């Protein structure tokens, strides 16, 4: 006999989600990798530039602003803004006051506004063209995330130049991760992507080593994983767990070097 939907396992798979979970899914996008790109640069800024109370509204604006932009670009992509109007209202109501607090207390953060505006235009263009998974769009998103290192440092009263090296390290890591994840999932089997990923990771060891030899060792591991892991079929969840470990190692290494 074959298994039927009456088995406990099948029942769990087919059981409808609760109303609370459906509401949560309506307001939280299924972009799990984005959270690392949001939080790691912020944490790196904290461990290298120090902590200031203005970073609290900055973090709130940063996270809510990401969610606001996600649904805004979804409206652009689908040409149906009415479908996400509730999400836009909620996240705009959180983002704008938090941004206002940061700008009033640290108006110098406005120096970063043109860069973010230009990068958001890139995101909007790719969303309009239904090409939001394009490599260029991913790179624009990575740069946005990594710019949080100098932004959070500025909010803490520290010159952006003082965190230039941590910014470059985080940027190199996430640019490489974009290529690595593509070789594991969407571009799996594409030899050109694989060669590009391995080449980028190998080249990244040099600037990392010029900053610190422990970082060269860490980026050496990143290069090994870029060449080795694509040989194996891995689920997106497993790939995500690998990158969570790498993020923890990256932040830990930068924190130790900052002591």
Per-residue b/e over 38-69, b at no fewer than 16 CB within 10 Å? Answer: bbbbbbbbbbbbeebebbebbbbbbbbbbbbb
Mean pLDDT of 67-82: 95
Q: Is residue 203's pLDDT more than 90?
A: yes
Share of the chain above pLDDT 90, in %: 86
Q: Is residue 223's pLDDT more than 80?
A: yes
Share of the chain above pLDDT 70, in %: 93
Residue 17 pLDDT: 61
56, 98 Cβ separation under 8 angstroms? no
Torsion of CA 6, 235, 124, 24, to 10 degrees: 40
Mean pLDDT of 36-40: 95
Residue 26 pLDDT: 82
Q: Is residue 32's pLDDT more than 70?
A: yes
pLDDT band at 42 (very low <50, low <70, confident <90, very high): very high
Distance between CA atoms of 2 and 6, rounded to whole angstroms? 11
Residue 185 pLDDT: 93
Torsion of CA 124, 163, 216, 188, to 10 degrees: -10
Q: Is residue 9's pLDDT more than 80?
A: no
149, 41 Cβ separation under 8 angstroms? yes
Cβ-count burial of 122 within 10 angstroms (0-12 exposed, 13-18 middle, 19+ buried)? middle
Residue 176 pLDDT: 97
Bin 79: left if φ > 0, else alpha if -120 < ψ < 50, else beta: left
Mean pLDDT of 25-31: 81
Contacts of 229 (CB under 8 A, 6+ apart): 180, 184, 239, 242
Residue 94 pLDDT: 97
Residue 30 pLDDT: 76
Residue 6 pLDDT: 40
pLDDT band at 12 (very low <50, low <70, confident <90, very high): very low
Q: What is the pLDDT of residues 123-170, one digit of tens each?
A: 999 999 999 999 999 999 999 999 999 999 999 999 999 999 999 999
Q: What is the pLDDT of residues 85-127, one digit of tens each?
A: 999 999 999 999 999 999 999 999 999 999 999 999 999 999 9
Residue with tokens 């990256």: 250
């Amino acid at each position: 006999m074959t298994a039927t939907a009456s088995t406990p396992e099948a029942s769990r798979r087919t059981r409808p989600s609760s109303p609370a979970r459906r509401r949560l899914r309506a307001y939280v996008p299924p972009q799990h990798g984005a959270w690392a790109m949001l939080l790691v640069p912020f944490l790196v800024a904290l461990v290298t530039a120090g902590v200031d109370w203005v970073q609290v509204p900055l973090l709130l604006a940063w996270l809510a602003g990401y969610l606001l932009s996600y649904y805004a670009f979804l409206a652009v992509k689908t040409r149906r803004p009415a479908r996400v109007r509730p999400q836009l209202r909620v996240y705009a109501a959180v983002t704008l006051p938090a941004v206002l607090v940061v700008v009033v207390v640290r108006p110098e953060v406005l120096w970063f506004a043109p860069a973010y505006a230009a990068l958001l235009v890139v995101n909007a263009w790719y969303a309009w063209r239904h090409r939001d998974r394009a490599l260029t769009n991913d790179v624009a998103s990575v740069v946005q995330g990594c710019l949080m290192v100098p932004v959070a440092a500025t909010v803490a009263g520290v010159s952006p130049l003082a965190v230039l090296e941590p910014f470059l390290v985080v940027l190199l890591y996430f640019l490489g991760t974009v290529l690595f994840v593509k070789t594991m999932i969407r571009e799996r089997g594409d030899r050109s992507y694989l060669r590009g990923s391995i080449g980028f990771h190998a080249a990244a060891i040099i600037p990392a080593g010029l900053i610190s030899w422990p970082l060269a060792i860490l980026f050496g591991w990143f290069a090994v994983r870029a060449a080795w892991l694509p040989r194996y079929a891995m689920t997106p969840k497993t790939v995500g767990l690998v990158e969570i470990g790498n993020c923890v190692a990256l932040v830990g290494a930068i924190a130790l070097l900052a002591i």
